[in-house]
Amino acid sequence: MLVTAHSALARLRGTRPLWWMKVSFTAKEYTRLLELVHLGLWVAGARPDDPATMPERYAGIAQKTFALAEPFGCADLVETDVNGLYFPNEKITTGPAGDKMDQFVEDAFWSELVGRLGERDLRSELGSTKLSDAFTDEEEERLGQIEEGYWREFETSGVDHLVVLRGGKG
């Protein structure tokens, strides 16, 4: 289906388009675009269950994209709230995009945990004589070894062996 995005949006608003942009999407492609918008908004801080979390920088383009769902044959993927603002419904948030988000969060958690623990341990090894925040090539190599140890442990046991010593050093 060929829809002129700007003219479709203008029709929704009851105005004339100021310029033309031709964009051709199948319903399947537009569904993927809606998924990408949802994923991008989530990473930028928006939460589907809390409209107040919508980053101001992206609010306008998100609303335009969601508003065009109907002309592109994807009206069943968006809803409006009591203020008339569009948001993705569960078909978007819990489908393949939800699975991708879950995997992203999982990967980010483990990467961040390994990176922070590795850097903490290396700085502890180096002691207070380390003058620079930057690591030398040798220190980077040692950091990689420390991180590899954490990766092996977490891949085997998850957080089951992780212990927090309150007020102590690990």
DSSP string, 104-128: HHHHHHHHHHHHHHHHHHHHHHHGG
Neighbours of 34 (CB within 10 A): 24
Q: What confidence score (pLDDT) does residue 170 get? A: 53
Phi, psi of 65 (to 5 degrees): -65, -45
What pLDDT does residue 125 have?
Answer: 92
Sign of CA dihedral 22, 23, 25, 30: negative
Per-residue pLDDT tens digits for 73-109: 999 999 998 888 899 999 999 999 999 999 999 999 9
**What distance separates the 2 farthest-apart alpha carbons in the chain?**
68
- How many CA atoms, within 13 angstroms, populate the side-chain half-sphere of residue 66? 22
Query: Angle at which helices 5-13 and 56-67 pack, to 10 degrees?
Result: 90
Q: What is the pLDDT of residue 10?
A: 58
Each residue of 114-146: pLDDT tens digit? Answer: 999 999 999 999 988 777 889 999 999 999 999
- Confidence bin at 14 (pLDDT 50/70/90): low
Q: Are 73 and 27 in contact (CB under 8 A)?
A: yes
- Least confident range from 7-16, 145-154, 157-166: namely 7-16
d(CA 79, CA 25): 20
pLDDT at 155 over 90: yes
Which run of H or of E encompasses 11? helix 5-13
Whole-Å CA distances, 2 to 11, 27, 31, 33? 15, 10, 15, 15
Please give the share of the chain, as a percent, with pLDDT higher than 90. Answer: 65
pLDDT of residue 4: 55
Residue 168 predicted with pLDDT over 80: no
- Whether 1 has a pLDDT exceeding 50, the answer reads no
Rounded alpha-carbon distances, angstroms, from residue 129 to 75, 132, 140, 143 = 62, 9, 17, 17
